[in-house]
Structure 1
Amino acid sequence: MFFDTHTHLNVDKFKGEEAELIEEARKQNVKKMAIVGFDTPTIEKALQLSRDHEGVYSIVGWHPTDSETYTDQVEEKLIEQLQLPKVVAMGEMGLDYYWDTASKKSQHEAFKRQIKVAKELNLPISIHNRDATEDTYNILKEAQIQDIGGIMHSFNVDTYWMEKFLDLGMHISLSGVVTFKNAPEVKEVAQAVPFDRLLIETDAPYLTPMPHRGKRNEPSYVRFVAEEIARLRDCSIEEVATQTTKNADKLFRLT
Structure 2
Amino acid sequence: MLILGIETTTKIASIAIFDSEKGIISEITLQAKINHSDTLMKAINGLFEFSGIKKEEIDKIAVGLGPGSFTGIRVGLGTAKGLAYSLKIPLVGINTLDILVQNVMKTDKTIVPLIDARKTRVYYAIYKYEGDKIKKIEDYGVEHLEKILENRNLEKIIFTGRGSVVYKELLKEKFGEKLNFTSLSNSFLRASHLAELAVDKKEDNIYELEPFYLSKSQAERMKAEKGE
Normalised by the length of structure 2, the TM-score is 0.32
Structure having the larger proportion of residues in helix: 1
Bigger Cα Rg:
2
Normalised by the length of structure 1, the TM-score is 0.30
- Greater RCO structure (CA 8 Å; 6+ sep): 2
Structure having the larger proportion of residues in strand: 2
